[in-house]
A and B are shown apart, each in its own frame.
Chain A
Amino acid sequence: MNWKLKKHDLLGLLPEALVLTRTRDHDLRYLSFDDGPDPEHTPRLLDTLARHNVKASFFLVGEKIEQYPEIVQRIVADGHMIGNHSYSHWSFRNMNLRKQLDEVYRTDALLRLFDNRPHHRMRPPMAMSARSCCCISPGASAVSSTGRTTASTTRTDRSRHSSRACATIRPPPATSC
């Protein structure tokens, strides 16, 4: 089966819900999902991933973590990674540095309650690269809260909300700041 065809099919079906990251390892892919936890959709995704014994990453919104902690518990218990997708999911574009950092640290503190990790990978909301907060390299959309690029993803323009439609075509760069 042709990988490109299937990737296209998948993105066509869910252009606003999925990030698929390709890596230097030709046979390894990272699936990640943004904007959760959601009481309806996240459990279904978790069921599907469990059925196929596939691990993924969930970039979560702080406000929703507070609303649905039991879902976050299940994400972690199922062996998936949880990442930081800001607290309010407001765009960082017009947010001052203090507010951006508050969004990051506040959500980091919430995530820590579930996985005991001090810091988490950061994916800014609305596909915004918070340049004053995180260093980001050209073509990369996923950055860590420490400023290190965690994955190189190229976003498509298929969605009116560009943060939702993503396909990775490049290996992770060695860039750090």
Chain B
Amino acid sequence: MHDDSDKAAEALDVLLPEWLDQGIRFGALPGNAP
């Protein structure tokens, strides 16, 4: 990770609930290679 990863956590803390309220869903990339 990089020095700005703290900002990532802070920004996500603010933005994620807003996006979730808009109906946007988040997920891990689907299935790894078989």
Contacts and interface: CB of A to CB of B under 8 A. Distances in A.
Interface in B1-34: 1-2, 4-13, 15-20, 22-29, 32-34
A29 B28 contact: no
A55 to B, nearest CB: 4
A150 B28 CA distance: 12
> How extensive is the interface on chain A, given as a class?
35 or more
A41 B1 contact: yes
Contacts, number: 132
A37 B4 CA distance: 14
Contacts of B19: 3, 6, 29
Interface string A124-152: 00000000000000000010111010110
A164 B33 contact: no
Interface in A35-56: 35-38, 40-42, 44-45, 47-49, 51-52, 54-56
B9 A45 contact: yes
Contacts of A37: 1
Given A55-B28, A119-B33, A119-B34, A42 B11 contact: no
A101 B11 CA distance: 36
A155 interface: no
Contacts of A42: 1, 5
Contact of B11 (A10, A28, A34, A51): A10
